[in-house]
Structure 1
Amino acid sequence: MPMSVETLRRHLIDAFPDAEIAIEDLAGDGDHYRARIVSNAFAGLARVRQHQLVYAALKGQMGGALHALALETSAPSDKG
């Protein structure tokens, strides 16, 4: 069963309460999303570690309920 935008957003807000989050459903199927997340939690972390934190926030649903997630992550100081 696909993951709704609301469920995806809820997972991300729970993990990154300070975040600015923008989510786009890329295929209209609830299975392929792009998420842009700006959070202080990412400050000083390598991009790979930032993405690992996002995957952890999804609680094992990546690859199951959520097939594909294109990520753009940054700290507020990195915004351009």
Structure 2
Amino acid sequence: MSLSTRIEAKLREAFSPERLSVIDESAQHAGHQPGFAGVEGTHMRVRIVAQAFAGMTRLARHRAITELLQPELDEGLHALAIEPAAPGEETRW
């Protein structure tokens, strides 16, 4: 199972999102550090809209997702961009 598939499954189970995109942006970061070739699964973006985020601060939403995905971060996920929203909130995507 790919990292993006694993992340998506964990987010769906934890937050039951209305909308969810897990985007692997690793290739866009090739060459940013010496020897980094843009290996799959190092830089991910999560865009998620879920009722579970209603009433939560932006920081609380980020913490909830980061805590859920801590094992992936410990296993080598280098960067995680998080764009959380509750239903009805404006998104840029």
Same fold (TM over 0.5): yes
What is the number of residues matched between the two proteins? 78
| Structure 1 stretches of at least 4 aligned residues deviating more than 6 Å after TM superposition | none
TM-score with structure 1 setting the length? 0.82
Question: Higher mean Cα deviation, 35-44 or 62-71?
Answer: 62-71
In 2: Cα distance, 1:61 partner to 1:6 partner: 12
TM-score with structure 2 setting the length? 0.72
Unaligned runs of 5+ in 1: none
In 1: Cα distance, 2:65 partner to 2:18 partner: 12
- Shift of residue 79, structure 1, vs aligned partner: 3.1
- Structure possessing the higher relative contact order (Cα contacts under 8 Å, 6 or more residues apart): 1
- Shift of residue 48, structure 1, vs aligned partner: 0.4
2:42 pairs with 1:60: no
Select the residue among 37, 41, 44 that pairs with 2:52: 41
